[in-house]
Structure 1
Amino acid sequence: MAQKLKKIHTEKTSLHERNLHRERYDFIELINSYQELSKFVFVNPFGDKSIDFANPDAVKALNKALLKYFYGISYWDIPDGYLCPPIPGRADYIHYIADLLASVNGGKFPVGKNVKVLDIGVGANCVYPIVGHREYGWSFTGSDIDPVSVDSARQIIDKKPSLEGAIDIRLQTSPKNIFKGIIHPEEFFDVTICNPPFHASMAEAQAGTKRKLINLGLAKGPKAVLNFGGQNAELWVEGGEEVFVKQMIRESAEIPSQCLWFTSLISKRTTLPGVYSELKKVNALNVKTVEMAQGQKVSRFVAWTFLDNDMQKKWAKERFKK
Structure 2
Amino acid sequence: MADRNELHQRNKHNGQYDFPKLIADYPPLKKYVVLTPYGSQSIDFFNPQAVKALNKALLAAYYGIRYWDIPKGYLCPPIPGRADYIHYIADLINPSGEERKCRGLDIGVGANCIYPIMGCTEYGWTFVGTDIDPVSIANARKIVTCNPVLAHRIELRLQENDKHIFRGVIKPDDYFDVTVCNPPFHSSREEAEEGTLRKLSSLKGQKVSKARLNFGGNANELWCEGGELRFILNMISESKAFQNNVGWFTTLVSKEKNLDKLYAKLKSAGVAEYKTIQMRQGTKSSRILAWRFI
TM-score over 0.5 (shorter chain): yes
In the alignment, which of 132, 146, 156 is matched to residue 119 of structure 2? 132
Structure 2 CA distance for aligned equivalents of residues 153 and 218 of structure 1: 36
Question: For 1:205-257, what per-residue CA distance to the aligned partner results, in whole angstroms no more than 9, with x for missing partners?
Answer: 01111111111118795344354500110000110111000111011101111
Return closer, same or farther for 1:108/1:226 CA change in 2, 3 Å cut-off: closer
Unaligned runs of 5+ in 2: none
- Give the aligned partner of residue 47 of structure 1: 39
* Residue pair 1:207, 1:225 contacting (<8 A) in 2 also: no
Q: Counterpart of 1:193 in 2: which secondary structure? A: strand
* Residue pair 2:111, 2:140 contacting (<8 A) in 1 also: yes
Structure 2 CA distance for aligned equivalents of residues 193 and 282 of structure 1: 19
In the alignment, which of 223, 229, 233 is matched to residue 216 of structure 2? 229
Q: Is residue 143 of structure 1 aligned with residue 135 of structure 2?
A: no
Q: Counterpart of 1:117 in 2: which secondary structure? A: strand
* Residue pair 2:185, 2:222 contacting (<8 A) in 1 also: yes
One-letter amino acid of the counterpart of residue 82, structure 1: Y
Unaligned runs of 5+ in 1: 1-10, 308-322
In the alignment, which of 69, 88, 108 is matched to residue 97 of structure 2? 108
- Give the aligned partner of residue 198 of structure 2: 211
Return closer, same or farther for 1:126/1:220 CA change in 2, 3 Å cut-off: farther
Return closer, same or farther for 1:218/1:134 CA change in 2, 3 Å cut-off: farther
Give the alignment of 1:1-322 within 5 angstroms: 12-103=4-95, 107-111=96-100, 114-217=101-204, 221-225=208-212, 227-307=214-294
One-letter amino acid of the counterpart of residue 279, structure 1: L
Structure 2 CA distance for aligned equivalents of residues 157 and 219 of structure 1: 41
* Residue pair 1:54, 1:218 contacting (<8 A) in 2 also: no
- 1:190 CA displacement: 0.4
One-letter amino acid of the counterpart of residue 229, structure 2: E
State percent identity of aligned pairs: 55
- 1:164 CA displacement: 1.4
Return closer, same or farther for 1:290/1:221 CA change in 2, 3 Å cut-off: closer
Structure 1 CA distance for aligned equivalents of residues 246 and 279 of structure 2: 23
- 1:51 CA displacement: 0.7
**So what's the TM-score if we normalise by structure 1?**
0.88
* Residue pair 2:77, 2:215 contacting (<8 A) in 1 also: no
Structure 2 CA distance for aligned equivalents of residues 36 and 292 of structure 1: 32
One-letter amino acid of the counterpart of residue 62, structure 2: F
Question: For 1:269-295, what per-residue CA distance to the aligned partner results, in whole angstroms no more than 9, with x for missing partners?
Answer: 011011111101110110010001111
One-letter amino acid of the counterpart of residue 246, structure 2: C
* Residue pair 1:54, 1:224 contacting (<8 A) in 2 also: no
Structure 2 CA distance for aligned equivalents of residues 118 and 262 of structure 1: 9
**So what's the TM-score if we normalise by structure 2?**
0.96
* Residue pair 1:117, 1:138 contacting (<8 A) in 2 also: yes
- Give the aligned partner of residue 319 of structure 1: none
Structure 1 CA distance for aligned equivalents of residues 227 and 265 of structure 2: 15
Q: Counterpart of 1:21 in 2: which secondary structure? A: coil
Return closer, same or farther for 1:67/1:226 CA change in 2, 3 Å cut-off: closer
Q: Counterpart of 1:190 in 2: which secondary structure? A: strand
Query: How many residues get paired?
Result: 292
Structure 1 CA distance for aligned equivalents of residues 53 and 275 of structure 2: 36
